[in-house]
Every structure is written in C-alpha cells, then in structure tokens.
C-alpha cells in the first residue's frame, strides 16, 4: 500500500499535551462552578437516532447534521429508487443515526426517557463534544466541546438569575472580560405584534439578529425581501435604536408594547431578573440587547449570549429558556432553561489574550537523572517518597547521555533536576539543580523536600 499523508478530517484537531493542560484548565474551572451551584453531571452517546435530532434546529441545522451510514447491506434495504429519491430523503433511508449537534436536545430526550429516576427541578451539567457539518473557519470547528448547564422542570426566574451568576463566575475565574447580552423571545414576539406582523416573527428575529454585523440598511433589505412592508419596517427602526440604561429601555418598551400581552410579559420577566441584581453584585456587564435573537428555534423566553470584549470571534456562551422541548418526546408542560459554554472559542480567546496562568503548564516538578542500573535502584525509593508527598516526579527511563537528559528536563520545563551518581551515593547526598536559577546544591532528602515546597 502506498504511504499516505497523515491527516485528520476537516475541521477536527489533535491536542498536544500543552494544549490539553490549558483545555483542562477551562473544563475544570467551568465544572467547578457548575458543582458549586448544585448541578450534577450526565453523559449521553455521541450518536443519537436521527428522529431525535431532526427538526429541532431549523432547516439550516438539519443540513449541518452528520449522519451515520447504516451497517451491513444498507442499499438493498432502502425502499426508494436511488436515482429518483432526493439526496436528503434518500439519506434518511440509509442512515438512522447521527452525531449529536448540541447537548440540549439529547438532554431533553434523556429527561423524558428517564422520567422515573429524576426528581424535578432537575439540574444537570454535561461537558461533551458535538459535531456540525459546517465549513470550518475562524472560531468554527466541526468537532468542538460544549459545556452545558440546564435546569428543567422549573418556571422560576431564579434559574435565569442563577445562570447569569454562573456565567459571571466562570468568566471571572478565567479572567475574561465579557459582556452578557440578554433578551426575551416574548419581547420579540411582542414587537412583531406591535408592528402588525406577528406571523413573520421568525423572519424578523433572524434578520435583526444580524443588526450589529451588517447594519440597519441591509437588515431592512432582508426584511423587505421576506415580505414585510416598509411601514412595519419604519416602526421597527426606533425600537432597536433605543438608547440608555437597561431601565430606560424597559420603560420605553412598556409603552411600545402596551397592546401586546406577550410582549409585556417578556418585559416583566426581564425586569424581574434585573431587579435581583440590584442587591447581587455582578462582575460582568449585563446588557439588555433587543437585537439579540438567536437562531435555534426551540427558545421561548429568556435568551442569552456572551461575547468577549475586544476579541473578534463569535459568541463564547449562549442559551435560553425553552418551554416545550420535551413536548416532542411526549412530555408536555415542562419548562427548562440552560446555557452552553463554547470551550474551544474560550480557548481561542484566552490564547489570543495570553491569559492562561503560567503555573498550570508545569507537570513534573522533579526529575532524577539516570546514571545506570545501580543508581536507578538507589533513586527509585526516593522518587516514590516524593510522590507520596504529592510531588510529581520521574526518573529518566534510561542512562542516556547527561546532555540528552538535561535537554529533556529543559524542554519539559521541569524546575528541579536531581543527580545521584556514585559520588553522591557514597557521600549520602543529592545534587539538586535549580533549572531556573542554574544553581546547584548538595542536599539531603529533607532539604530537597523543603526546597521544593518552599
């Protein structure tokens, strides 16, 4: 067989040890905050039945699902004629599974399937990869990790408050300067009603989502092309140009939406959430952004999106309330709310800002140089004793040239190298080299311990 150039599929990546250390730092921080708020972990399979996934993410999302070919002689079992069927409907005959697209829909499936074992409100977190058959580009991968927290079976706005607190704490711990944008789908519905276009709610939503990216003119053009008349568009304009504090915006909205029951409902919800933070200080900026819409069509109430300040990358966290996601699986009237942290984008942001703490990279603290069989046997118990004291230690696996062993320690950023050869064994001491300072000391084991832990 011809030698093939090794590569990974488009949009997927390998992670080196240094990258993994940093990634784990992100995962551990996020997980730590989740636990602090009383959330418990679950995991679901990489693959779901396509029937579970299809139709939950809108037309665009369905196209981005990775489908898994059935095993065996899948063609003979297909009913349609290959040449006649459209490729998408044919795909459904030869694929019954797909890779998960997010963690929220599998979670909804999980809740319904394990109803008997769950006590509501159910708070869970889930950190697993998801896959999207997207065209990769900056900040966009085909395989990436989401860190989801959701609480299902509770209408209380306290959950929204809690999620904002979680976002606040996570980004504070990661030292990312972020801004939380919040809106409410009910307000957006209300606006659609107020301008006399309630049935065009989804189109309006998608168009205004692009406002800060493409500007008001192009949004208007898109709205026109969706069949919204210019009179309605004119009414829309002042709403999105509302200035001032969150309070000011809410007051103006109350007048604009005075005839829309659902709109006022949304305003009230947002107001209540904001009120909690009068006596609950936040580190992160919290902003009511009326142009925030989000494409996923299962959201019904509050919606969130978090952006890193000063970094050109999509949102690093997003989520919202979904009132009936479990409905399609047969469980009605159960409301949930959750958010998802995009670990890979958070990584990119932190890398760009160079804000990973230095100390997380250190792995081995002490390396013993290997001088030969006799010395190995002398050193191994010492290495073990260090480990018992909680110090990561290793001995070089072969008596290679000193230079090579030192280079290894240097490349691995090992701060201390211990040399025990014939001389040291005879004198009963350890030669300890501090790789940062370049100085070398003769110590006994206690001295070594003290030096490292000081």
Question: Contact positions toward RNA, by CB under 7 A?
Answer: 5, 7, 10-11, 58, 60-61, 64, 102, 132, 134-142, 144, 146, 206, 209-210, 213-214, 294-296, 305, 312, 314-318, 340, 342, 344-345, 371, 401-404, 406-407, 409-411, 419, 421-424, 431, 433, 435-436, 438, 440
Give the torsion through C-alpha atoms of 135, 138, 144, 145, to 10 deg.
-150
Q: Could you tell me which residues come within 8 angstroms of residue 82 by beta carbon, excluding any fewer than 6 positions away? A: 75, 90
CB-wise, 115 or 429, nearer to RNA? 429
CB-wise, 277 or 408, nearer to RNA? 408
CB-wise, 121 or 295, nearer to RNA? 295
CB-wise, 271 or 434, nearer to RNA? 434
Task: Provide the minimum distance between the beta carbon of 76 and RNA in the complex, in angstroms, as a whole number.
Answer: 27
Is the distance from CB of 393 to CB of 383 less than 8 angstroms?
Answer: yes
Angle in degrees, CA 208, 209, 212, rounded to 5: 90
Closest-CA residue to 289 (of 322, 243, 251)? 243
Task: Provide the minimum distance between the beta carbon of 331 and RNA in the complex, in angstroms, as a whole number.
Answer: 22
CB-wise, 11 or 121, nearer to RNA? 11
Answer whether the bond into residue 224 is a cis peptide, omega within 30°.
no
Task: Provide the minimum distance between the beta carbon of 139 and RNA in the complex, in angstroms, as a whole number.
Answer: 6
CB-wise, 16 or 71, nearer to RNA? 16
Task: Provide the minimum distance between the beta carbon of 426 and RNA in the complex, in angstroms, as a whole number.
Answer: 9
- Which pair of tokens denotes residue 164? 């904002």
CB-wise, 88 or 275, nearer to RNA? 88
Task: Provide the minimum distance between the beta carbon of 437 and RNA in the complex, in angstroms, as a whole number.
Answer: 7
Is the distance from CB of 121 to CB of 151 less than 8 angstroms?
Answer: yes
Task: Provide the minimum distance between the beta carbon of 440 and RNA in the complex, in angstroms, as a whole number.
Answer: 5
Task: Provide the minimum distance between the beta carbon of 399 and RNA in the complex, in angstroms, as a whole number.
Answer: 9
Q: How many other CB atoms sit within 10 Å of the CB of residue 170?
A: 27
Contacts 24+ apart (CB under 8 A), 156-160: 157/269, 157/272, 157/273, 157/276, 158/276, 159/121, 159/337, 160/269, 160/273, 160/302, 160/321, 160/337
Question: Residue 373: how many CA atoms within 13 Å on its side-chain side?
Answer: 0
Measured CA distances, 284 to 111, 138, 169, 177, 433 (Å): 32, 25, 9, 7, 45
Q: How many other CB atoms sit within 10 Å of the CB of residue 338?
A: 25
Task: Provide the minimum distance between the beta carbon of 219 and RNA in the complex, in angstroms, as a whole number.
Answer: 9
Phi, psi of 114, deg, nearest 5: -115, 25
CB-wise, 260 or 291, nearer to RNA? 291
């Amino acid at each position: 067989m011809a030698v093939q150039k090794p590569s990974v599929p488009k949009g997927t990546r390998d992670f080196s040890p240094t990258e993994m250390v940093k990634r784990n730092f992100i995962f551990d921080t996020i997980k730590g905050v989740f636990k602090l708020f009383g959330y418990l972990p679950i995991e679901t399979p990489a693959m779901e039945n396509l029937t579970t996934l299809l139709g939950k993410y809108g037309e665009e999302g369905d196209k981005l699902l990775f489908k898994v070919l059935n095993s065996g002689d899948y063609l003979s079992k297909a009913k349609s004629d290959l040449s006649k069927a459209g490729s998408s409907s044919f795909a459904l005959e030869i694929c019954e599974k797909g890779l998960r697209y997010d963690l929220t829909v599998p979670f909804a499936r999980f809740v319904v399937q394990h109803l008997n074992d769950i006590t509501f409100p159910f708070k869970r977190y889930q950190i697993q990869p998801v896959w999207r058959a997207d065209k990769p580009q900056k900040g966009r991968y085909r395989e990436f990790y989401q860190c989801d927290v959701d609480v299902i079976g509770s209408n209380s706005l306290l959950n929204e408050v809690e999620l904002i607190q979680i976002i606040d704490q996570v980004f504070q711990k990661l030292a990312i300067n972020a801004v939380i944008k919040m809106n409410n789908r009910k307000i957006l519905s209300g606006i659609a009603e107020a301008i006399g276009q309630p049935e065009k709610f989804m189109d309006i939503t998608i168009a205004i989502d692009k406002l800060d990216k493409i500007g008001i003119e192009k949004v208007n053009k898109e709205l026109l092309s969706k069949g919204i008349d210019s009179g309605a568009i004119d009414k829309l304009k002042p709403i999105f140009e509302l200035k001032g504090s969150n309070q000011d915006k809410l007051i103006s909205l109350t007048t604009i939406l005075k005839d829309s029951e659902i709109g006022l409902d949304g305003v009230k919800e947002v107001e209540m959430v904001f009120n909690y933070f009068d006596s609950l200080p936040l580190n992160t900026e919290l902003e009511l952004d009326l142009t925030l819409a989000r494409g996923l069509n299962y959201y019904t109430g509050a919606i969130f999106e978090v952006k890193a300040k000063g970094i050109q990358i999509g949102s690093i966290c997003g989520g919202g309330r979904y009132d009936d996601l479990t409905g399609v699986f047969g469980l009605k009237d159960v409301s949930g709310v959750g958010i998802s942290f995009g670990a890979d984008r958070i990584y990119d942001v932190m890398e760009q800002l160079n804000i990973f703490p230095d100390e997380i990279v250190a792995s081995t603290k002490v390396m013993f140089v290997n001088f030969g069989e006799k010395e190995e046997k002398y050193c191994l118990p010492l290495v073990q004793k260090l480990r018992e004291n909680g110090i990561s230690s290793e001995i070089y696996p072969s008596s290679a040239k000193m230079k090579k062993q030192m280079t290894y320690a240097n490349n691995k950023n090992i701060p201390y190298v211990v040399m025990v050869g014939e001389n040291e064994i005879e004198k009963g001491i350890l030669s300890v080299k501090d790789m940062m300072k370049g100085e070398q000391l003769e110590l006994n084991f206690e001295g070594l311990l003290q030096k490292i832990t000081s």
